[in-house]
Amino acid sequence: MKKNRFAKYGMMLACLLASQVAFGQSLEEINQANASYESFGISLATVLYIFALILVIIAGGMLMIAVRMKRYLKGEMTEAYENRKPWWEKVFQIKSLSSDKDTVINHPHDGIYELDNPPPPWFMFLFYGTIVFALIYYVRFTFLDSGYTQAEEYVEQMRLAEEEHKEFLATAGDQIDETNVVLLTEEADLNKGKTIYTTNCVTCHGKHGEGIVGPNFTDKYWKFGGDIKDVFKTIKYGTTGGMQPWAQSMGPAGLQAVASYVISLEGTTVPAGVVGRPAEGDLYDRSAASEEGGDETEIEAQDSVETADTTLNE
């Protein structure tokens, strides 16, 4: 019996060692993992040792449970041992089949007898734990008002995401989006934008920007805003009126170039015989807009709160 037990322990340790080899990492991956763990003041080797120790403890415990359950099922456990069995066997209510005769309810139904087999203690602990958690949660958010509401949590998460995005843009260098895009005026950049426009946009907006299905770009009226950031965002995400998003196919630099070219068409005259689409949207005074400035952070934060409240109410 002891030899078999030692053989099982040896086989378990051999499997653990084999798993370490099978899931081995390259030197570069190990260095990267070490760098990430250094911020917590702990080395990767320490984490692996702790993890291996936990695996050994879990495997040993499962082996002990399996051995004891096997002895229970065979009826090899004496009555004396029943009175001094470990706590984990009491919690999980591990019983031998021979004990079923002591739990029969003497009230048969159609000749069928039922066993008095209540839920195990671990299940009842879990059940009562959910009740305690619900009470604490209800008191905290209803009476103490010490936790985030869903709307407040949404606004806070959006603020943190915006900060992380700004930090990323500051280190990325060539990343362009609707928050930092600028109007390009160099001829080479406009020619690049014209090439992209000719390839993708003439079907809806016309060769000269006169508008066919989509709006006319030669006038000073804009449906979704005439600022470079607005035009960039419109091309990037598309519109509800039917224009598809072009973020994936054009890329940030391409979006900036084509948005700049589209703005350069403002005020141009289409060739004779070309009929432009009537003006749509609001008049955008580019010269006045360039002189105005302001911090839109507060407005965006307020819009986020209103959006979150509207979503929750719906």
Residue 48 confidence (pLDDT): 75
pLDDT bin (cut points 50, 70, 90) of residue 172 is: low
pTM for the model: 0.43
What Cα–Cα distance (Å) separates residue 37 from each residue in 24, 26, 33, 54, 191?
Answer: 18, 17, 6, 19, 49
CATH of the domain at 239: 1.10.760.10
Of 25, 50, 47, the C-alpha closest to 38 is 47
Q: Residue 114: beta bridge partners? A: 105
pLDDT bin (cut points 50, 70, 90) of residue 260 is: very high
Is 234 part of a structural domain of the chain? Answer: yes
Q: Which residue, of 69, 99, 129, is where some domain finishes?
A: 99
pLDDT digits (tens, 9 = 90+) for 48-99: 778 888 888 888 878 877 777 777 666 666 555 556 666 666 666 666 666 6
Distance of CA 307 to the CA centre of its chain: 20
Distance of CA 214 to the CA centre of its chain: 35
Helix (H) or strand (E) segment spanning residue 239: none
Top pLDDT among 156 and 141 is at 156
Q: Which residue, of 48, 80, 99, is where some domain finishes?
A: 99
Q: Residue 259: beta bridge partners? A: none
CB atoms within 10 A of CB 259: 28
Is 148 part of a structural domain of the chain? Answer: no
Structural domain range at position 247: 187-283
Domains in the chain: how many in total? Answer: 2
Q: What is d(CA 181, CA 174) in angstroms, rounded to the nearest whole number?
A: 11
Top pLDDT among 248 and 197 is at 197
Q: Half-sphere exposure of 255 toward its Cβ, with a 13 Å CA cutoff?
A: 26
Of 281, 197, 205, the C-alpha closest to 243 is 205
pLDDT digits (tens, 9 = 90+) for 236-251: 888 887 788 888 888 8
Q: Which residue, of 99, 126, 157, is where some domain finishes?
A: 99
Top pLDDT among 130 and 45 is at 130
Is 105 part of a structural domain of the chain? Answer: no
Is 257 part of a structural domain of the chain? Answer: yes
Is 197 part of a structural domain of the chain? Answer: yes
DSSP assignment of 37-89 equals: HHTTT--HHHHHHHHHHHHHHHHHHHHHHHHHHHHHHTT-S-HHHHHT--HHH
Is 161 part of a structural domain of the chain? Answer: no
Is 264 part of a structural domain of the chain? Answer: yes
Is 150 part of a structural domain of the chain? Answer: no
pLDDT bin (cut points 50, 70, 90) of residue 253 is: confident
Top pLDDT among 28 and 126 is at 126
Q: What is d(CA 252, CA 307) in angstroms, rounded to the nearest whole number?
A: 27
